[in-house]
Amino acid sequence: MQKTDENQNDKFYKEVVEGLGSPQKYLQPKYFYDKTGDVLFQQIMAMPEYYLTRCELDIFKNKTAGLAKAITAPGGAFDLIELGAGDATKSSYLLEYLVEQQTDFTYMPIDISGNILTVLDENLKAKMPQLDIVCLEGEYFDMLGKAAALSPRRKVVMFLGANIGNMELEEAHNFCHDLYRNLNPGDLLFIGFDLKKHPDTILQAYNDKAGITSKFNLNLLTRINRELGGDFNLEDFEHYQMYDPQTGACKSFLVSLREQEVSIGDKTVHFKKDETVFMEISQKFSEAEIALIAEETGFKALQTFTDDKGWFMDAVWEV
Ligand code: AVI
């Protein structure tokens, strides 16, 4: 355990130094989620401006029968795999429906955090004692391999919450293609995309009045200070958000408010006044772009589900 922690810390340090040593400085958003980051993200999901969670929840709450039909239509028992399951707030509506219908399936949530999976396992078993659940702790593709080894049943993989949008387009493309290669003919991918909409609606979701998204971004500097011996002064950085309706890229940055030097362990990083650190992309898609990703990565696009406002889309693709 100790060794893993050390390795993870070394990796964190290496990736931070690499990002801040690049001509366009960047930090990786996967590091947002320490204990404070998790709490801030919960607060983001509850913000009036952050529509994404509510929209996808609307689909899972109000179109449950349709979702279940799409998943069960090919027939026979199956494994329902959820990548990055978290607390399964949305998927539990679908799980309850499938259990009620006495569907023959096993729910296999995959998460990097064993802690989250333990809580999820307890909660779901308390709510649905009949649910067959196998938790898989680890990296997505390692655990997909494990799921395939555990059972030969057909697989339905869910990747919800617009997480695909946090990848650069090429990375998202490669990720979908890797999923395709790791699945078998007849398997399904159930994937969530945030749709292009009025640019102000999108910008406000990431530039909230209460400044929670700003805190979420700045918290990564606090994490670097604590875990890597950094001396960032948070007052010297400011959150900046932009959305480009043409490309659909919504990007967050931190801006250095003055020329300064920051130490991280034995490394020193120089910031010019107004220099930016790229933090995260939250890509928005058109329906045509979503269909094209399916086609280019090998999938057959079967069906789509949108919320009442038409702001969010869950797509069902077949291998
Ligand atoms: C996790 N992910 C889908 C969120 C998003 O909308 O891109 C992360 C986030 N970053 C700032 N606000 C929300």
| Secondary structure of residue 275 in the 3-state scheme | coil
Tell the residue nearest (CA) to atom 1 of ligand 1.
Answer: 163
For residue 32 and ligand 1, the question of a CB distance below 6 A is answered with no
For residue 161 and ligand 1, the question of a CB distance below 6 A is answered with yes
CA of 44 to the centre of ligand 1 (A): 8
Q: What is the mean pLDDT of each run of 10 residues along the chain (319 residues)?
A: 67 96 97 91 95 97 97 94 91 97 97 87 95 95 96 97 94 97 97 98 98 98 97 98 98 98 96 98 97 97 97 98
CA of 96 to the centre of ligand 1 (A): 27
DSSP output for 119-178 = HHHHHHHHH-TT--B--EES-HHHHHHHHHHH--SEEEEEE-TTGGGGS-HHHHHHHHHH
pLDDT at 5: 66
The Cα–Cα gap between 191 and 250 comes to 19
For residue 44 and ligand 1, the question of a CB distance below 6 A is answered with yes
pLDDT at 8: 76
For residue 213 and ligand 1, the question of a CB distance below 6 A is answered with yes
CA of 74 to the centre of ligand 1 (A): 33
For residue 179 and ligand 1, the question of a CB distance below 6 A is answered with no
CA of 282 to the centre of ligand 1 (A): 6
Q: What is the ipTM of this complex?
A: 0.99
Q: Which residue, 81, 158, 96, is CA-closest to 131?
A: 96
Indicate whether this model's pTM tops 0.90: yes
Atom of ligand 1 nearest to the CA of 282: 7
Please, what is the end-to-end C-alpha distance for the chain in angstroms?
A: 38
CA of 149 to the centre of ligand 1 (A): 32
pLDDT at 4: 58
pLDDT at 1: 44
Q: Which residue, 23, 14, 11, 27, is CA-closest to 278?
A: 27
Q: Report pLDDT digits (tens) over 159-191.
A: 999 999 999 999 999 999 999 999 999 999 999
